[in-house]
Amino acid sequence: MSQWVVFGFGNYLSDIFDIIGARQGRVKAIVGNLNYSEEKRNNLSRRLSLLGYEVRYWQLEDFRPSSEEQYCCGFISGRDQLATRLKREYEIRFANLIHPTSYIGLGVSIGEGFVMGPHSVVAPNCRIGDFVIINRATSVGHDSSLGDFATLAPGATIGGNVGIGRKSVVGIGATIVNDVNIGENAIVGAGSLVLKDVPDHVVVVGSPTHILRRNNPVANC
């Protein structure tokens, strides 16, 4: 049984535990960003107990890498900063975490720290960067490219030959048609229909989409 160490926790942690369990793995410990209030720590313990888990908590300074462990992030926003720090200070490599019900086509290249939820599809000849998250029931069309730290929320539909920039987020149930490019650090709102290119650092919403506002490149990731 594979042993996983999860760095950080957020609402996405339940999905991470679910995918690890579906791969017959076990979470050994949760590490870092644990300086939360007692209320938040109790909420984490409650959520883990519902999943049937009792997991050790380690502060980052207590972490020591082991060749017998695999590593992943347990949250979405801000994972670029934590992953960069961990790789620099501990020289670890993050594993790819792919649910067994998902499908990846021929000729797909995948970076480090990739997470793919259940019933999702990546069509042939796609390029997936480091620390990309593809959530549940999401479809990515052929020859598409997902930049580092890009996030696709549940039910998103990505057409063929689509480019999604670094640290961009595609919301729940959004649709991006063929041959469209999404810039870096952009956000596509839930349920949106994207028919044309989206520039860097903006939030787009609607069907078809329009620019709602700028997206702060520091605050979002």
The Cα diameter of the chain in Å comes to 49
Query: What tokens does 154 get?
Result: 């549940």
Residue 142 appears among annotated catalytic residues: yes
The full 3-state SS of the chain, as one line of letters, equals CCEEEEECCCCCHHHHHHHHHHCCCEEEEEECCCCCCHHHHHHHHHHHHHCCCCCEEECHHHCCCCCCEEEEECCCCCHHHHHHHHHHHHCCCCCCEECCCCEECCCCEECCCCEECCCCEECCCCEECCCCEECCCCEECCCCEECCCCEECCCCEECCCCEECCCCEECCCCEECCCCEECCCCEECCCCEECCCECCCEEEEECCEEEEEECCCCCCC
* Beta bridge partner(s), residue 139: 121, 157
Candidates 218, 211, 209; CA nearest to 185 is 218
The residue from 119, 142, 201, 210 that is catalytic is 142
**So which residues are the catalytic ones?**
142
